[in-house]
Copies of this chain bind each other. A is one copy, B any other.
Amino acid sequence: MDRIRAARRVIDPVCLATPLFRSGGLEQGLGCAVSVKLETANPVRSFKARGAEVVASGLAEHGRRALVCASAGNLGQALAWSGRARGIDVTVVASRSAPAAKLERIRALGAGLEVVDGDFEAARERAAALALSDGVRLVEDSLDIETCEGAATIGLELVDAAVPFDAVLIALGGGALATGVGHVVKTLVPAVEVICVQPLGAPAMTRSWRRRSVVTTDSTDTIADGVAGRYPIPAVLDDLLLVADDAVLVEEASIVAGMRMLLDAAGLVVEPSAALGVAAILEDRDRFAGRHVVTIVCGSNVDPDAYRRWVGAVPAPGT
């Protein structure tokens, strides 16, 4: 907790104190009280900004001038932004299949970008090899504790808010967001339910959590590119087992319905991973009825064409 509180002091304020607000439109559609924690209103449009700030400020403090990371797209943007501000050379390795919008922004922020065939796990392998050969610090999302501490500052802000809540829905990918926020919530307001949400098409961490040991998958099949890993990190799973009350899997159709609802009811264009929380409510309304649920809208970097394909015209026909 001390390290998480300290993280707040090194993160650029523009990435802190993000809005947390009740959405009447969502509540009408979902049958429960819903507060949105909006992590998209910062220069890199995702919660990864927080962890990247902690990573980059730590490196700068020690006079390190370069880093390499694998990224599904959001961490790369965040590190590119945080590194640029501190004179750190950032190299990002990403899958060729990552959203073009994310890859373009990484380049636009001045980072080196290496695109690899294969998925996110292939990018992780390549980044590790590159770090080794170049003698440069490898930043491993979710494993490197700074990435979790950065995300955990979201938890502090939720707990600091005046209004109590009953559950928090957290997109589950590598686990930095879930373990970070979960740790703070379970430490300070343990009665609040910590529920992780992952797509059925990328269920490795959820299955691992259920079995209490690492389960890998051969492939992923989801539009939620930000959480589509196949190899859970054992140390992160250990942390997740300590703080998550539940981990649920949701259908692709629910993710799309969640994106559409966030657009129509709250005016938010979000990437698929950011709609996982709403998707979880849509799939299990009874569980949440009458409760006050926080959902973390964690990113809005989405290819416009893909968004149109998934969500349709604005608004959804018939609304």
A305 CB-CB contact with B under 8 Å? yes
CA distance A304 to B263 in the complex (A): 9
Q: Is the CB of A24 within 8 A of B41?
A: no
Whole-angstrom distance between the Cβ of A74 and the nearest chain B Cβ: 13
With contacts A269-B268, A308-B314, A315-B305 taken as known, whether A21 is within 8 angstroms of B38 at the C-beta atoms is: no
Whole-angstrom distance between the Cβ of A142 and the nearest chain B Cβ: 25
Contacting B at CB under 8 A, from A279-319, are 300, 302, 304-305, 307-308, 311-315, 319
A269 to chain B: which residues have CB within 8 Å?
263, 267-269, 314
Which bucket holds chain A's interface residue count?
35 or more
A41 to chain B: which residues have CB within 8 Å?
19, 21, 36, 38, 41
Chain A positions 255 through 279: 1 when the CB is less than 8 Å from some CB of chain B, otherwise 0? 0000000011001111000000000
Our pick among B22, B305, B308, B319 for the contact of A304 (Cβ within 8 Å) is B319
Interface segment, one of A10-18, A120-128, A148-156, A245-253: A10-18
With contacts A20-B14, A302-B267 taken as known, whether A313 is within 8 angstroms of B315 at the C-beta atoms is: no
Residue of B nearest to A28 (CB): B108
Our pick among B308, B312, B319 for the contact of A315 (Cβ within 8 Å) is B308
Contacting B at CB under 8 A, from A4-58, are 13-14, 17-24, 28, 36, 38, 40-43, 45
Could you list 22 A-B pairs, sorted by A, with CB under 8 Å? A14-B19, A14-B21, A14-B22, A19-B19, A19-B42, A21-B42, A21-B43, A22-B43, A24-B105, A24-B109, A41-B41, A45-B267, A263-B314, A267-B269, A267-B300, A304-B319, A307-B315, A308-B313, A308-B315, A311-B314, A313-B313, A313-B314
Question: Given contacts A21-B43, A38-B41, could you give 13 more A-B pairs where the C-beta distance is less than 8 Å?
Answer: A14-B20, A14-B21, A21-B41, A24-B105, A24-B109, A40-B267, A41-B41, A268-B269, A304-B315, A307-B315, A308-B314, A312-B313, A313-B313
Which residues of A come within 8 Å of B, CB atoms?
A: 13-14, 17-24, 28, 36, 38, 40-43, 45, 105, 108-109, 162, 263-264, 267-270, 300, 302, 304-305, 307-308, 311-315, 319
